[in-house]
Structure 1
């Protein structure tokens, strides 16, 4: 009588192990990493042994760390979002688009919490050519994601639905901020540079051809004072600020937009570029020589 329960080996032969004896021995002596932290340490060792380059290691570590991050960790907060009103006249919309220099804008109706769609800056050209068009017809659907949305899943959705911007909502369904595909990718490759970005090791204050200066918004106030021979302080002695961008935003009562300016300690600071709801670059010149039109 045949065995009703044949041995597993006779029904399912073992998969052939093609590893060499030396490979098996190496894995026994030096087992692979058992955790993400160990894997990151392994990547560092690989860089030290010239197996991978420094940039490759940084990107691989970014991929690993991104697995633990959510949309809420890297979003632009709602208070720093540049939104457009559906009821604003064309000239006002165009002015805001030019000043902020974004390519996509959330559009709201009534209150800023009521996001009704996304406007691509280039679509405003259609209104200029055909003023009879309704702005609503140009809006793209807004994508809403929870703060807890994992960046891995979000990146997959960005690639799948070809959206580059999503509105982040909190647990109560209120707008918490926005996140773009660039925000996600920067967690892997580092900050994606644009025409205003300069390598950190090249400094934060630069002389320009017109005898003015470009100053990074995150430049320490002490460095600005030393470089220009001035003494910049807050109008309120009880307030302490580390960066020139933070101090100027406080003095103006809001994060200044491109073209806005403020005079401090005999210097005129004109906003050149905003990024992520903060001033990235100022143009600085003595007040007597300043072009107050920005």
Structure 2
């Protein structure tokens, strides 16, 4: 019997249709994605990797799609900045102190507390401090915007939807007892999809977190291992309760280092270059002057 639908000749440059078996395989994968089984997400991620290998999608697209899939399992508590690392402003602080804190940290939004750090009463936009400078008699409370509170268990998908619909960029995360657990920003959520949002201090190629600057000093990541710094400088900074150089410096200072702050740890001087989310991203590290070493008894 002749074929009722004979294949038409291929036009110039036209590729033949994929075999029926391949079309069925693609259809089956699509059905499994729409009606996922217990292993559908892993299989979909594998399919995305195969699509990248066949150059159907770019590597950056695959990474973002995988980020979207994995974000479905994450909550606000998984990616928040923990409460001890939050940069907050005291409602009763003097204007100069507020300005110093804003400039020192470089954030655009700050939770404001009254009395205890747990008592967050609103959010201050850094740019609104200009209004206080123009009108010193203006009450700071009138500049505060309502604080948004979310539970630790809130899914990132839902949180991103809320951020977009309510035009908020920051939320205070509370635990099951109603206490402040941390804060989360829209940037924290987006980074789960697109990866680390690079800034002028970020370096994609390095792995140790220690880089040489033009003046011969070193740029050291806050999460760099203490052993890496010891190897580069040939020193013996203590490796005990802390794994990272940021943790060691914070312990020596007695508080989370602020941008522009400098301190000596052993034979090295650490100057904070950049902070983000209440943690130090980069230190500038030099050897301490001989006079300082002598005064420390080193």
User: Scaled by the length of structure 1, what TM-score is found?
Assistant: 0.84
Q: Which runs of 5+ in 1 are unaligned?
A: 1-20
Matched residues in 2 for 1:217 and 1:184: separation? 21
Matched residues in 2 for 1:245 and 1:118: separation? 27
Tell whether 2:251 aligns with 1:250.
yes
Q: 1:289 to 1:61 in 2, by over 3 A?
A: farther
User: 1:133-172 alignment to 2 at 5 Å?
Assistant: 133-172=138-177
Task: Tell me, yes or no, if the aligned pair for 1:267 and 1:284 is still in contact at 8 Å.
Answer: yes
What is the number of residues matched between the two proteins? 267
Matched residues in 2 for 1:43 and 1:200: separation? 25
Q: 1:195 to 1:147 in 2, by over 3 A?
A: same
Matched residues in 2 for 1:29 and 1:106: separation? 52
Match of 1:89 among 82, 90, 94: 94
Task: Tell me, yes or no, if the aligned pair for 1:102 and 1:121 is still in contact at 8 Å.
Answer: yes
The structural deviation recorded for 1:229 is 2.0
User: 1:23-172 alignment to 2 at 5 Å?
Assistant: 25-29=21-25, 31-32=28-29, 33=32, 34=36, 35-172=40-177
Task: Tell me, yes or no, if the aligned pair for 1:215 and 1:281 is still in contact at 8 Å.
Answer: yes
Stretch deviating more after TM superposition (181-190 or 71-80):
71-80
Matched residues in 1 for 2:185 and 2:84: separation? 16
The structural deviation recorded for 1:249 is 1.8
Matched residues in 2 for 1:87 and 1:132: separation? 14
Number of the residue aligned with 1:11: none
User: 1:11-26 alignment to 2 at 5 Å?
Assistant: 25-26=21-22
The structural deviation recorded for 1:197 is 1.7
The structural deviation recorded for 1:202 is 7.1
Matched residues in 1 for 2:63 and 2:25: separation? 28
User: Scaled by the length of structure 2, what TM-score is found?
Assistant: 0.83
Match of 2:186 among 181, 188, 192: 181
The structural deviation recorded for 1:200 is 4.0
The structural deviation recorded for 1:150 is 1.1
Number of the residue aligned with 2:235: 230
Match of 2:202 among 197, 201, 209: 197
Task: Tell me, yes or no, if the aligned pair for 1:117 and 1:141 is still in contact at 8 Å.
Answer: yes
Q: Which runs of 5+ in 2 are unaligned?
A: 1-16, 293-298
Task: Tell me, yes or no, if the aligned pair for 1:268 and 1:290 is still in contact at 8 Å.
Answer: no
Matched residues in 2 for 1:290 and 1:53: separation? 55
Number of the residue aligned with 1:10: none
Matched residues in 2 for 1:225 and 1:169: separation? 39
1:192-228 Cα distance to aligned partner (Å, 9 max, x none): 1122222243763233333322111222222212212
